[in-house]
Structure 1
Amino acid sequence: MDITTSTVFIPGATSGIGLALALRLQAAGSTVVIGGRRTELLERLADEHGFDTVPIDIIDPASIAAARDTVLARHPSLDAIIAMAGIMTAEDVRDAGFLDDALRVVETNIVGPLRLVAAFVEHLQTRPHATVMTVSSGLAHLPLAATPTYNGSKAFIHRFSESIRLQLASTSVEVIELVPPAVQTDLMPGQAEQPGFLPLDDFADEVMALLRSNPHAAEILVERVKFLRFAEVEGRFDAAVAAVNA
């Protein structure tokens, strides 16, 4: 992914990691289109930063199709999508009421990216060079007890990314998996103030540096996430699980 010349669509870019990357990609020279559900926030970001914006609800197939048609009509040179939208919810499976939240996580974190890839993959294959960036998590590789469905959803995204990378290897589309650690965002209540979490700006700056130094990387791994990503392969899984869940 050439961060200086790409035309990128990022649903879920009205806050957090998505917005931080959108701002940095735009500053690097890319054309950035951001999407989200809140039209008033999209309008404000367009006014403040000059983004093109498109309303999109990642759990609504009709909304995704409409967003695709709008984006491609305005930006036929689109050559990258970043499947940024996701939610994280604490659950307790000892209470059957956890299911409603779990299904919402699955619909957003798994089905949403599947629909997004399906909506854009044929167009991306027409571009000389194109990118699908998925967003998993360090928790795809090491479980946090409080968020079982979130962990599983990100494990799915990890394996899905590896699989479609193989299928798309003969095309012009590369697949890059962004693997965040715990970052100071509003993903969960109080997370933005957690002192042990990686500050958002530090995370986004490191991601951009990694993309700049290796634009065709299969995975984008900031230093902080390697403790999670490689716990099992380095033979320290049980100790790492205990540390994360202390």
Structure 2
Amino acid sequence: MKLSDHTVFIAGGTSGIGQELARRFAAAGSTVVVGGRDGDALARLAEEGFGTVRIDVTDAACVTAARDTVLARYPGLDTVITMSGVMRMEDLRDPAHFEATAATVDTNLLGTIRVVDAFTPHLIGRGAGTFVTVTSGIAFLPFPPMPSYAASKAGVHAYSEALRAQLAGTGVDVVELVPPAVATAGQEKVNPHALPLDEFATEVMDLLAQEPTPREILVKGVQMHRWAERDGTYDDLVAQRSQALANLPGRRG
């Protein structure tokens, strides 16, 4: 896809990968609108020249209001990126984990669907546009301490595949961004193998700029996750990653 002359809305773009992609698209010559819940972050981004709108993807009415605000200000919107997500550790031996499960699925999967549903009529009406959904390497190679995160992102992957099939012929493309662990918000301290954000964003933008745009944006650092089953490494890698279960609070000591 061409990176310039687009009008891009990033739901969940106030920090981390979303914020970095906002800056990259703006630097490439596109108009960028950032949505999020953090009022202070939105104010800072507005000072940088970004369009901003408050959106809580777990609240259907808020998503509709945000959609209406964005389209009123930017009727030429042609690209929607669904970045909102939460990642939580869960011990499935403790029934209390369900609160985290519900919040994770509501944000990561249902939140994605709410945003996509809100903007689908507009993009179909234009006869052209792009949805960029965001999954994770964990959707393809689970990290057992984060079961609901893995399940929600696997759900977004399946939903993206179905969405692409249903929108075929409308002029609306569906691109799935599949990040590995990326060093954002202190993650480099938690995971020393996390990919530097700048390096990740550069690779993502290069892949998005390809013609035709790949259906899945797979940086080198996520190939191991994406193709583990195909390559016959899945069982061994899940077993290795399961060792992290010993770090769950209820299992220490």
TM-score (normalised: structure 2) = 0.93
Correspondence for 1:161: 160
* SS across alignment from 2:88: coil
SS of 2:209's equivalent in the other structure is helix
Q: Which residue of 2 aligns with 1:219?
A: 216
Deviations 1:89-142 (A, max 9, x none): 000010000000110001100111111011000001122420000000011111
The residue number in structure 2 matching 1:41 is 41
Counterpart residue number, 1:231: 228
Q: Which contiguous aligned blocks of 4+ residues in structure 1 show a shift greater than 6 angstroms?
A: none
SS at match of 1:91: coil
Unaligned runs of 5+ in 2: 244-253
Point out the structure with the larger helix share.
Answer: 2
Pair 1:143 & 2:139 matched: no
* C-alpha contact 1:174 1:216 (8 A) present in aligned 2: no
Letter in 1 for 2:236: A
Aligned mates of 2:99, 2:128 — CA distance in 1: 40
Paired with 1:239 and 1:122, the residues of 2 have a C-alpha distance of 44
CA contact (8 A) 1:177 1:220 kept: yes
The aligned counterpart of 1:31 is 31
Quick one: distance in 2 between partners of 1:244 and 1:221? 21
Query: Comparing 214-223 with 55-64, which one deviates more in the overlay?
Result: 214-223
Q: CA deviation at 1:216?
A: 2.2
Matches of 2:215 and 2:15 in 1, distance apart?
Answer: 25
* 1:4 aligned counterpart, secondary structure: coil
Within-5 A mapping of 1:168-179: 168-179=167-178
The RMSD of aligned alpha carbons is: 1.2
Instruction: Report the CA distance shift for 1:128/1:116 in structure 2 as closer, same or farther (over 3 A).
Output: same
Determine what percentage of the aligned residue pairs are the same residue.
Answer: 52
For the residues of structure 1 that align with 2:59 and 2:96, how far apart are their CA atoms? 24
Deviations 1:6-31 (A, max 9, x none): 11100111110000000000000111
Secondary structure of 2:9 counterpart: strand
Q: Residues of 2 paired with 1:240 and 1:159: CA distance?
A: 22
1:12 aligns with 2:12: yes
1: CA distance, partners of 2:130 / 2:217: 13
**1:134 matched residue in structure 2:** 133
CA distance in 2 between partners of 1:149 and 1:78 (Å): 32
Tell whether the 8 Å contact from 1:36 to 1:54 is kept in structure 2 after alignment.
yes
Residue 64 of structure 1: aligned partner: 63
TM-superposed CA distance for 1:245, in Å, is 3.6
| Cα displacement (A) at 1:215 | 5.0
State how many pairs are aligned: 242
Structure 1 CA distance for aligned equivalents of residues 22 and 36 of structure 2: 13
Structure 1 unaligned blocks of 5 or more: none
Distance 1:90 1:132 in 2: 29
Q: Given the alignment of the two structures, is residue 116 of structure 1 paired with residue 115 of structure 2, yes or no?
A: yes
Give CA-to-partner distance per residue, 1:123-176, whole Å, 9 cap, x none.
011224200000000111111110000000000011111111011111110000
Contact 2:26 2:32 in 1 (8 A): yes
Report what 2:249 is aligned to: none
Q: Report the 3-state secondary structure (helix = DSSP H, G, I; strand = E; otherwise coil) of the residue aligned with 2:33.
A: strand
In structure 1, C-alpha distance between the alignment counterparts of 2:24 and 2:125, rounded to whole Å: 26
Offset at residue 62 of structure 1 (A): 1.0
Q: What SS does the aligned partner of 1:19 have? A: helix
C-alpha distance in structure 1 between counterparts of 2:187 and 2:102, whole Å: 22
Q: Tell me if 1:198 matches 2:195.
A: yes
